[in-house]
Amino acid sequence: MSTTLETGDLVKCTLQGCSCEGTYITTRDGMATVKLTSGYNIGVPEENLTKTGSSEMAEPHASEVTQDTTLPKISIVSTGGTIASKIDYRTGAVTSQFRATDILNAIPGLATLAQFSAVQLCNILSENMTPAIWQQLARAIFGEIKAGAQGVLVTHGTDTMAYSAAAIRFMVKTPVPVVFVGSQRSADRPSSDNVMNGMCAAKTALSDLGEVVVVMHGTTSDDACAIHRGTRVRKMHTSRRDAFQTIGDGVIGSVTYPSLEVSLASHAVKRGSCEPELKDTLEEKCAIVWYYPGMDPAVLSAWNGYKGIVLAGTGLGHAGTDVIARIREMSAAGTTFVMTSQCLNGRVCDRVYDTGRDLLAAGVIEGEDMLPEVALVKLMWVLGNSSSLAEARMMMTQNLAGEINRRSSV
């Protein structure tokens, strides 16, 4: 092929007797990336392409959405993520670059459910989330609640959404639904889950719920979204649309699609159960350490000076004998240790075997059935909102936000 291709050119691909049409994106090492009309990308040798036309690839014009002022008010706080992303035709990659208001254009059906106001807190991929941004997010959500929002949607990348939902659950007491929502697949893909997740999340924000939740696909089909408590949810698959699962408990509700009927479980916190309250102090010098066979005690020494460490132990909550002395030393120096289990399901009990009892004697706190990530966020919050280590230890064993089940249901 002698013609020089530019990003956005329309091309015909011919390979092994088959042909298809699409949009040229870029070439690397002789292989061209082409976006097919189906929305998926393919890689083909550049010499197998024929230019058929040009495309401006102009940014789509965001039309003004007319909102019904008689509908209830929902606030959208946007942090970015795949639900607010689109294709970057320079690279073929998904980039987070929509403004919060663009979500209403991307999901027009939202305007039939409520009036929406939008706050763009940040525009990041969720692997770049930080505790400092959690604090900003908590303040933004609290402000929207105090301003009269009947529900708050938080658009968020899925990679760390469970961390953020747990963080907000501890920092913000809310009388209205605070609903985290994202999508596993971007809007340009035929299998995108952004519309269904967004609609179900909005309907959840109008429901009788009164807590922080995550709303995502409940199955691989487009039939229902699950409502997960923010302190019991975990992303359990890299790419499936039903990647989010409630661990160690039942979901607190569901939303059928496309009928958008919300059903809440009996253990869901109901709307109006508390007054809004913000406690956004966090101790950031906390970490998770995943124990593995033969782990050198020096691994723990790398965290010298940290205020809190969550251990993800084996089985009932164990770590090898070799690390116990180091735990004892660091605990005596002021580091709070909390034991969780890599098993995820079930409860930590360090009173069964000698190793467990030695860990307790070294100062380790049993993390009950908390998920490791939730225990980390809770430890940050507890250390930031307690007046002494003794009080912090007591708070870590209490169920503060639905993070601990006194009786394991699974």
What is the pLDDT at residue 169?
Answer: 98
What is the pLDDT at residue 144?
Answer: 97
Owning domain of residue 388: 286-396
| 8-12, 126-130, 146-150, 244-248: segment of lowest average pLDDT | 8-12
Do 266 and 242 reside in the same domain of the chain?
yes
Give the model confidence (pLDDT) of 203-258 as tens digits: 999 999 999 999 999 999 999 999 999 999 999 999 999 999 999 999 999 999 99
User: 408, 409, 404, 403: which is closest to 168 by C-alpha?
Assistant: 403
Provide mean pLDDT across the span 253-272: 97
263, 226 Cβ separation under 8 angstroms: no
Q: Is the pLDDT of residue 103 over 70?
A: yes
Q: What is the average pLDDT score of the chain?
A: 90
Domain CATH number, residue 196 = 3.40.50.1170
Do 269 and 290 reside in the same domain of the chain?
no
Do 112 and 235 reside in the same domain of the chain?
yes
- Kindly state the greatest CA–CA separation across the chain: 75
Is 246 part of the annotated catalytic residue set? no
Provide mean pLDDT across the span 54-58: 59
Domain CATH number, residue 366 = 3.40.50.40
Domain CATH number, residue 49 = 2.30.30
Pick from 47-51, 68-72, 156-160, 367-371 the range whose average pLDDT is largest: 367-371
Given its phi and psi angles, is residue 79 left (phi above 0), alpha (psi -120 to 50 degrees) or beta? Answer: alpha
Please indicate, yes or no, if residue 164 is contained in any of the structural domains.
yes
Q: Is the pTM of this model over 0.75?
A: yes
Do 120 and 248 reside in the same domain of the chain?
yes
What is the pLDDT at residue 58?
Answer: 45
Q: Which of 159, 188, 222, 223 is catalytic?
A: 159
Q: Which of 79, 158, 160, 246 is catalytic?
A: 158
Q: Is the pLDDT of residue 65 over 90?
A: no
Peptide bond into 72 cis (omega under 30): no
Please indicate, yes or no, if residue 335 is contained in any of the structural domains.
yes
Do 366 and 272 reside in the same domain of the chain?
no
Do 304 and 372 reside in the same domain of the chain?
yes
Is 235 part of the annotated catalytic residue set? yes
Give the model confidence (pLDDT) of 141-187 as tens digits: 999 999 999 999 999 999 999 999 999 999 999 999 999 999 887 66
Please indicate, yes or no, if residue 367 is contained in any of the structural domains.
yes
Given its phi and psi angles, is residue 30 left (phi above 0), alpha (psi -120 to 50 degrees) or beta? Answer: left
Q: Is the pLDDT of residue 315 over 90?
A: yes
Q: Which of 82, 160, 174, 340 is catalytic?
A: 82
Please indicate, yes or no, if residue 340 is contained in any of the structural domains.
yes
Give the model confidence (pLDDT) of 281-304 as tens digits: 999 999 999 999 999 999 999 999
At residue 393, the 3 state secondary structure works out as helix
Q: If you search the block for the tokens 């495309």, which residue do you land on?
A: 55
Structural domain count of the chain: 3
Separation CA 28–CA 45 (nearest Å) = 10
Do 27 and 87 reside in the same domain of the chain?
no
Provide mean pLDDT across the span 50-73: 75
Separation CA 227–CA 217 (nearest Å) = 9
What's the DSSP call for residue 157?
-
Q: If you search the block for the tokens 């409520």, which residue do you land on?
A: 114
- Using the 3D structure, point to which of 223, 249, 278 is the last residue of a domain: 278
Is 159 part of the annotated catalytic residue set? yes
Please indicate, yes or no, if residue 26 is contained in any of the structural domains.
yes
Do 209 and 147 reside in the same domain of the chain?
yes
Do 82 and 178 reside in the same domain of the chain?
yes
Q: How far is CA 19 from the centre of its chain?
A: 40
Provide mean pLDDT across the span 360-369: 97
Please indicate, yes or no, if residue 130 is contained in any of the structural domains.
yes
Do 252 and 388 reside in the same domain of the chain?
no
- Using the 3D structure, point to which of 221, 251, 278 is the last residue of a domain: 278
- Provide the b/e sequence for 180-191 (b: ≥16 CB within 10 Å): bbbbbbbbebee
Q: Which of 35, 86, 235, 307 is catalytic?
A: 235
Do 301 and 203 reside in the same domain of the chain?
no
Do 49 and 138 reside in the same domain of the chain?
no
The better pLDDT of the pair 65, 245 is held by 245
Please indicate, yes or no, if residue 60 is contained in any of the structural domains.
no
Please indicate, yes or no, if residue 65 is contained in any of the structural domains.
no
User: 347, 369, 370: which is closest to 166 by C-alpha?
Assistant: 370
